[in-house]
Chain A
């Protein structure tokens, strides 16, 4: 994973550091101010000269030089001191209007002035330099805080890289790349030349800052480490001078450290989330096991008892034998249903199921299911309301078929024999909707969510009705796997309506089907 950015113009921390030095040498306004100070001091000195001693006059020049030194750099200060000294000598030290130092007293005054000015200016210069540094470091601290703040808000490695990039660009004014370990535990370094790659590898191997000169500029590689593990690499391409600075390296190391903290935090959050999921899975597994051991054992017990009775010495009567055999068959079928349902729901909920999507006609699917269940539906009025020429909808027909079977089996199980059943199919507005309405007792509002949970049986469900408590859980898992939903409502006039909805954005339009027919007519 890489985040990179081009150099952006603007004042950066790196730029501000080098700017300090540059300013100290090149300040045209400073020289002007120095000359002006010398001039003004001379004018004042000439004005007070008749009434003051030479030493007093000297103070005026000193004052000017110090004032200039508070605002400008070493070069300007030196220039001001020398100019002021020359002016002092020329205009104030007798002989006036000549660069001559006639007596030791005057020489001492001039020398004293030069020395005092030099000492004061150098002190001021140091102060100024430190102030500028303090400001820069303040700005860096602020930027580092901003980086930490931004990184603490990210929720993924990708977001982290996205958030770190502009900060690095701003701090170093360089092309910045951040590489982190991928899921395979490797740090991929794409898009690097051989020498750059070697430098990056060296940094990773030694877990230390490394730098190399390339055609594209100086490449600085700072490993991101945490608890003696290398998590990634920050690479900067920047000017040679900047890399040499100690502050820059410290700053880069600090940034890498912030990124390491953020990566650690993400890893910990991930581990916590996984632990939670595992705990939840464990809880579900336990519930499942207890429910299963009951639901699996009950039919097994009947089968075993029936089988042993048949094998036993009792020699049961013919009709008893048939009854026992029928029990074995029925209970085996119940077991088979349970195992099939369990497998479906586990597979679907694990998220590992790959949908086998194909365009299907929902009405055809419905008719198919109804004709398979025709025997059990005998004596019930079944109404299917589906408009002609329903568009095809992309779905996994096997799973949707199973949903229909489960919904209809529920109707068979929980509504009075002979009560009617209505199925309504609609496709439009980006969704395919299938409604199964019955005239049974309905499902109370407070149970309408719960019945979709595994092994939850409605209060009205009898314990031994052949249901597994999984049918609706499967329906919901299928709906969700397709990006759809399922919900229960009440039918006007009593009974329940279950609404199963699938997205139908990618359903082929009816014309596709029409064109097939067209083609044939021409053939």
Chain B
């Protein structure tokens, strides 16, 4: 099935470029220029993924994320010229799946789009195995293999890796990780994350000083990067 993308973006040149790029990759493209148009198009077209700009003439993209999340779990990728990490965290915590800062390269956008679609394609959040490149996670047995070698992880390390792997390719914010792994009362304790990410890298990365798999997005969170 050809995935349909709803592009909510008010800048016409950007829309033109996105239409060309997405069309070239075989996506079906719906377009909207305002919050209202976007929400109406979303209800009418039921796209498989939404590309959303934050600064819209009649409102904030954050509102669109919120309104869509009220009814749907469709992947939302925010595309914004706002580089501020606080905006990223706000969008991601609000339920967006990913955040791409404008300007971006075509390859970057499609990698994030594919990751978002892949995440949505997995029906069950409790899949039996997760395979990301050389990394394989057996969820029921809570076992982790790296290039067929079993890696011994502590329960917290496993939970952290599992949270990242479940949504491989997308940035998970500090708060989201802390809530999922430690619980809602620990969302401010970023240093826990630092400690356990370091341990995970030491166990999983071939060279922990050159992290390739567990990537930091400064000020936002972490991402498990699937091999290209």
A residues 392-417 in Cβ contact with B at 8 Å: 392, 396-398, 401
Do A520 and B156 touch across chains, with their CB atoms under 8 A apart? yes
The answer to whether the Cβ of A358 comes within 8 Å of any Cβ in the partner chain is yes
- Which residues of B have CB within 8 Å of A367? 208-211
- Tell me which residues across on chain B come within 8 A of A397, comparing CB atoms: 218-219
A257 within 8 A of B: no
User: Considering the chains assembled together, what is the distance between the CA atoms of A516 and B103 in angstroms?
Assistant: 40
A371 at the A/B interface (Cβ < 8 Å)? yes
Assess A384 versus B219: contact at CB under 8 Å? Given A364-B194, A513-B195, A520-B155.
no
Interface contact B211-A358, CB-CB below 8 Å: no
Q: Is B209 a contact of A370 with CB atoms below 8 Å? A: yes
Contact (Cβ within 8 A) B190 A523: no
Q: What are the residues of chain A within 8 A of B191 when measuring CB–CB? A: 358-359, 392, 508, 512-513, 516
Which 9 pairs, one residue from A and one from B, show the smallest C-beta to C-beta distance?
A: A398-B219, A401-B218, A359-B191, A368-B216, A397-B218, A367-B209, A371-B210, A513-B195, A358-B190
User: With an 8 A cutoff between CB atoms, is A340 at the interface?
Assistant: yes
Decide if B210 touches A364 in the complex (CB within 8 Å): no
B211 in contact with A516 (CB, 8 Å): no
At the interface, yes or no: B85 with Cβ under 8 Å from chain A? yes
B: residues with CB less than 8 A from A are 83, 85-86, 103, 154-156, 174, 190-192, 194-198, 208-212, 215-216, 218-219
Say yes or no: is A332 at the interface (Cβ < 8 Å to chain B): yes
The reply to whether the CB of A356 lies closer than 8 angstroms to some CB of chain B is yes
> With a CB–CB cut-off of 8 A, which chain A residues contact B103?
332, 336
Additional 4 contacts, C-beta under 8 A, given A368-B218, A398-B219, A401-B218:
A343-B83, A360-B194, A371-B212, A520-B155
Task: Note all chain B residues with C-beta closer than 8 A to A384.
Answer: 209
Which of B83, B154, B194, B208 has the most CB atoms of chain A within a 10 A radius of its CB?
A: B194
Chain B residues with CB under 8 A of A520:
154-156
Which chain A residues in 469-523 approach chain B with CB under 8 Å?
A: 508, 512-513, 516-517, 520-521, 523
User: Contact between A370 and B190 (Cβ–Cβ < 8 Å)?
Assistant: no
Say which residue of B192, B196, B211, B219 sits within 8 Å of A371 (CB atoms).
B211
Judged by a CB distance under 8 angstroms, whether A365 is at the interface is: yes
**Contact in complex: A370, B198 (CB < 8 Å):** no
| Contact (Cβ within 8 A) A523 B194 | no
Q: Would you call A163 an interface residue if the criterion is a C-beta within 8 Å of the partner chain's C-beta atoms?
A: no
Q: In the bound complex, how far is the Cα of B85 from the Cα of A371, in angstroms?
A: 20
Shortest C-beta distance, A244 to chain B (Å), equals 64
- Hey, which chain A residues are within 8 Å of B154, CB to CB? 520-521
Q: Which of B155, B191, B210, B215 has the most CB of A within 10 A?
A: B191
- Contact between A517 and B194, CB atoms less than 8 A apart: no
* A374 CB–B CB distance under 8 Å: yes
A332 contact set on B, CB distance < 8 A: 103
The chain B residue sitting closest to A372, CB to CB, is B215
Mark out the residues of chain A between 332 and 360 whose CB falls within 8 Å of any chain B CB in the assembled complex: 332, 336, 340, 343, 356, 358-360
Q: Are B194 and A392 within 8 A (Cβ)?
A: yes
25 contacts between A and B (CB under 8 A): A358-B190, A358-B191, A359-B190, A359-B194, A360-B194, A361-B198, A364-B198, A364-B216, A367-B208, A367-B210, A367-B211, A368-B216, A368-B218, A371-B210, A371-B212, A374-B210, A384-B209, A397-B219, A398-B85, A398-B218, A401-B218, A401-B219, A513-B191, A520-B155, A523-B155
Nearest chain A CB to B177 CB, angstrom units: 13
In the complex with contacts A364-B198, A401-B218, A520-B156, A370-B192 CB distance below 8 A:
no
Nearest opposing residue in chain B for A366, CB measure:
B209
User: Which residues of the other chain, A, contact B210 by a CB distance below 8 angstroms?
Assistant: 367, 370-371, 374
Residues of chain A within 8 A of B83, CB atoms compared = 340, 343
- The minimal Cβ–Cβ distance linking A400 to chain B, given in whole angstroms, is 8
A356 touches B190 (CB 8 A): no
Cα–Cα distance between A520 and B154 once the two chains are bound (Å): 8
A505 nearest CB across to chain B (Å) = 16
**Residues of A with C-beta under 8 A to B85:** 356, 398
CB distance from B97 to the nearest CB of A (A): 21
Kindly state the separation between the CA atoms of A259 and B111 in the bound complex, as whole angstroms.
69
Docked Cα-Cα span, A368 to B192, in Å, equals 18
A368–B156 CA distance with the chains assembled, in angstroms:
22
In whole angstroms, what is the CA distance A513 to B208 when docked? 19
Centre residue among B154, B190, B195, B198 by max chain A CB count within 10 A: B195
Closest chain B residue to A396, Cβ basis: B219
A360 to B174 CA separation, bound complex (whole angstroms): 12
Complex contacts, B190 vs chain A, CB 8 Å: 358-359
Contact assessment for B219 and A356 in the assembled complex, using a CB-CB cutoff below 8 Å: yes
Expressed in whole angstroms, the Cα–Cα distance for A356 and B83 within the complex equals 14
Interface residues in A298-342 (C-beta closer than 8 Å to B): 332, 336, 340
Residues on B with beta carbons closer than 8 Å to the beta carbon of A343: 83
**Chain A residues, Cβ within 8 Å of B219:** 356, 396-398, 401
A368 to B210, CA, bound (A): 7
CB-contact partner of B86 in A356, A361, A365, A370, under 8 A: A356
CB distance from A432 to the nearest CB of B (A): 14
Question: What is the CB-to-nearest-CB distance from B10 to chain A, in angstroms, rounded to a whole number?
Answer: 20
Chain A residue nearest in CB terms to B216: A368
Nearest CB to that of B219 among chain A residues? A398
**Nearest CB of A to B89, in Å:** 9
Q: Once bound together, how far apart are the Cα atoms of A490 and B142, in whole Å?
A: 53
A401 to B215, CA, bound (A): 14
Minimum Cβ distance to chain B for residue A238 (Å): 55
Q: Cβ of A516 and Cβ of B195 under 8 Å apart? A: yes
Q: Which residue of B lies closest to A358 (CB)?
A: B190
Task: Name, among B154, B156, B218, the residue most crowded by chain A CB atoms within 10 Å (CB to CB).
Answer: B218
Contact A517 B209 (CB under 8 A): no
Contacts of A371 in B (CB 8 A): 210-212, 215
A361, A364, A370: most-surrounded residue (chain B CB, <10 A):
A364
Minimal beta-carbon separation of B143 from chain A (angstroms): 18
Residues of B within 8 A of A356 (CB): 85-86, 219
Q: How far is the CA of A336 from the CA of B156 in the complex (A)?
A: 40
On chain A, the residues within 8 Å of B209 by CB distance are: 367, 370, 384
Q: Given the interface contacts A356-B85, A368-B218, does A361 sit within 8 Å of B211 by beta carbon?
A: no
A402's closest neighbor in chain B, by CB? B218
A-chain residues with CB within 8 Å of residue B195 when the two chains form the complex: 513, 516-517
Complex CA–CA separation, A216 to B208 (angstroms) = 75
Q: What are the residues of chain A within 8 A of B197 when measuring CB–CB?
A: 364
Bound: A523/B194 CA distance, A: 20
B221 CB to closest chain A CB (Å) equals 11
A202 to B190 CA separation, bound complex (whole angstroms) = 57
Task: Give the nearest-CB partner of B196 in chain A.
Answer: A516
Bound-state Cα–Cα, A358 to B198, Å: 16
Q: How far is the CB of B216 from chain A (nearest CB, A)?
A: 4
